[in-house]
Amino acid sequence: MNPGQRKSRAKILRIARRLHRTTGTLLFVFFFILACTGLLLGWKKHTGGVILPKSYQGKSTDMKNWLPVDILHQKAAVVVREQISPEMSLELERIDFRPDKGMVKFVFIEDFWGVQLDCTTGELLHIERRRSDFIENIHDGSILDYLIDTDGEQLKLIYTTIMGGALLLFTISGFWLWYGPKQFKKK
């Protein structure tokens, strides 16, 4: 390796080190949160219902015996009003049918509440706090859109772009910080 190449590689190594250090310093808190929430989400099914609520079994898995969706939704709304809060919004994030369990979950946007009903009888099976949804919203940045009440997911998109770009930058600069010195030692 001639002195010009050596200088050029040393310059690239210094830039990689500076980028790695600066990005790590600026985004340390976000990476810490991302790592913690990622671990929690990875373990959510193995927490005994603490993070991800257990899915309860309904009376029948035969869809012919099930109540219509609008009737089930009305029953879920009654449960919310009577057992959670009379002022809570009934706006749904999603309806999650579990045909293998004969059960449906109505997941409400406000405060991450869910209601599980038997699809056949409409009977309440479980009221749940959706901790896994809350953790997921922190993990992917959509909690910012939820808290600020934006129309869409603008803040989530900005957050995931920054974090994804930083992770890509860390991967490339980290590889060069590992590989670059090996090249100097070889020649």
The ranges assigned to domains in the chain are: 1-53+132-187, 54-129
pLDDT tens digits for the chain (187 residues)?
677 777 887 888 888 888 888 888 888 999 999 999 999 999 999 999 999 999 999 999 999 999 999 999 999 999 999 999 999 999 999 999 999 999 999 999 988 999 999 999 999 999 999 999 999 999 999 999 988 988 888 999 999 999 999 999 888 888 878 887 777 676 6
Do residues 80 and 90 lie in contact, with contact meaning Cβ atoms separated by under 8 Å? yes
Class of domain 54-129 as given by CATH? alpha beta
Measured distance between the N- and C-terminal CA atoms of the chain, rounded to whole angstroms? 6
**SS3 for 74?**
helix
What does pTM read for this prediction? 0.78
